[in-house]
Every structure is written in C-alpha cells, then in structure tokens.
C-alpha cells in the first residue's frame, strides 16, 4: 500500500495528471474487488473455503485454480517490475515491494499446493512453475511495451498500483478479523511508513 501511495501514484501523476492517475489507480482496486467478490478470490492461498475432511488430499481439487491464479499474479508482478525500470526512482521501490511480498506469498502457495497435491515433488514443481511466470511477465513487458506508448504503460502501472492497494487492504482486513486491531495496526503502519520515508531519501 505504501509503494502504491507514495511511489507509484506520484510517478504516474507526473505523466497522466493527478485526476487520471487517481482514476486509473482506483480502477485497478475496483477491478480486483469485483474479481474477488464475484469471480474468484484474488488471494486463493488465503481463501480455501471447502470442507475437505473426506478428500484424498486435504485440499483436493484446489491446486489447479490456485496455481492458475498464482501464475497470473506472478506475471503481473514481472510486468510491473520491468515497466517500472524506466523510472529511476520507481524501479527500486517496485523491486523492494514485490520482493517483500514474494516470501510470504511463496510460503502460502507452497503450503496450499502441498495440501492439494499428492507428493512434495509435484507441489514444489508446480510452485516453481507458477512463480516462474514472473519472468514471463517481464519478458512480455519488454516485447510489447514499446508498441503500447508511454500513456498506456503508465495507465497499466497505475492499474497495478490500484491492485497493490486492494491486496494490501485485503490482507489487513483479513488479519483484522483473525487477530484484532492491535496485532494488525502496527505492522501495517510500519510498512506504509517505511515506504513513505524511503520515498523522501530516494530521488
């Protein structure tokens, strides 16, 4: 959330203007909200809702949608990181923000995949494949960004910023329901504050 608010949004506003940058960012958040509510959970690793007590594996049938969603998510990460490299200030922040969420995301993905698949090897192989989609997304950005134009690339980055906002809010909201305000507030505030303070020193 801090990366979206203090890095992506100001950089996009320099090119698109504040109204357009805010609209595209809000559109990205709204698109994920609608997807999450009406199509499929945006964080499938935290949303296994079926009772799998009598299944062959604890989360039987969950692997395919989980890995497809994780692959698409990783491809978006790769595209966003590469698109941000054209901005000397934005590039390091995007790498930091995406790298910071890859560790817990990878652990969650591994746990759910292991509970969904019959063997450790299958779970590890599919997790590596899903995360490797980050490289595919980066390659797609390199291949197609020159043909999209500056305004389109910045609009896509603003959409990515909106997705960061929604995912951050989604994580905070979920943890708030599980643990209460105290254990959630200070880690969330630390993350947002850290991003904002870093923005002051990296110009």
Q: Is residue 160 part of a domain?
A: yes
Q: Is residue 147 part of a domain?
A: yes
The answer to whether residues 123 and 73 touch, using CB atoms and an 8 Å cutoff, is: no
Query: What confidence score (pLDDT) does residue 48 get?
Result: 46
Q: How many structural domains are present in the chain?
A: 1
The answer to whether residues 25 and 80 touch, using CB atoms and an 8 Å cutoff, is: no
* Residue given tokens 């951050």 in the structure block: 168
The enclosing H or E element of 45 equals none
Phi, psi values for residue 58, rounded to 5°: -60, -35
Q: Is residue 38 part of a domain?
A: yes
Q: pTM of the predicted model, to two decimals?
A: 0.64
The range of the structural domain enclosing residue 163 comes to 2-51+72-97+134-201
User: From CA 79, how far away is CA 201, in angstroms rounded?
Assistant: 26
Q: Is residue 140 part of a domain?
A: yes
User: From CA 173, how far away is CA 128, in angstroms rounded?
Assistant: 28
Is the predicted pLDDT of residue 137 greater than 80, yes or no?
yes
Query: What confidence score (pLDDT) does residue 124 get?
Result: 92
Give 114's pLDDT tier (boundaries 50, 70, 90). confident
Average pLDDT, the chain: 78
Give 125's pLDDT tier (boundaries 50, 70, 90). very high
Q: Is residue 125 part of a domain?
A: no
pLDDT tens-digit map of 14-63: 889 999 999 999 998 999 889 888 887 666 545 544 444 444 444 445 57
Q: Is residue 59 part of a domain?
A: no
- How far is C-alpha 84 from the chain's CA centre? 15
Q: Is residue 166 part of a domain?
A: yes
Q: Is residue 175 part of a domain?
A: yes
The answer to whether residues 159 and 28 touch, using CB atoms and an 8 Å cutoff, is: yes
Mean local confidence (pLDDT), 126-146: 90
In whole angstroms, how far apart are CA 56 and each of 144, 162, 165, 172? 43, 39, 37, 33
Mean local confidence (pLDDT), 147-154: 83
């Amino acid at each position: 959330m801090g990366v979206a608010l203090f890095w992506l949004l100001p950089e996009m506003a320099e090119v698109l203007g504040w109204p357009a940058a805010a609209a595209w960012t809000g559109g990205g958040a709204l698109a994920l909200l609608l997807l999450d509510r009406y199509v499929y959970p945006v964080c499938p690793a935290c949303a296994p809702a079926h009772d799998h007590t009598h299944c062959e594996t604890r989360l039987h049938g969950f692997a395919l949608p989980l890995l497809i969603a994780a692959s698409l998510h990783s491809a978006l990460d790769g595209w966003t990181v590469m698109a941000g490299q054209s901005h000397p200030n934005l590039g390091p922040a995007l790498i930091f923000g995406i790298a910071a969420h890859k560790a817990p995301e990878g652990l969650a993905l591994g746990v759910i995949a292991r509970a969904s698949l019959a063997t450790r090897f299958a779970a590890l192989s599919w997790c590596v494949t899903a995360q490797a989609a980050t490289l595919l997304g980066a390659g797609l950005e390199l291949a197609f960004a020159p043909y999209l134009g500056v305004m389109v690339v910045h609009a896509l980055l603003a959409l990515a910023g909106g997705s960061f906002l929604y995912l951050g809010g989604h994580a905070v909201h979920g943890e708030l329901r599980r643990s209460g305000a105290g254990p959630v507030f200070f880690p969330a505030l630390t993350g947002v504050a850290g991003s904002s303070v870093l923005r002051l020193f990296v110009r």
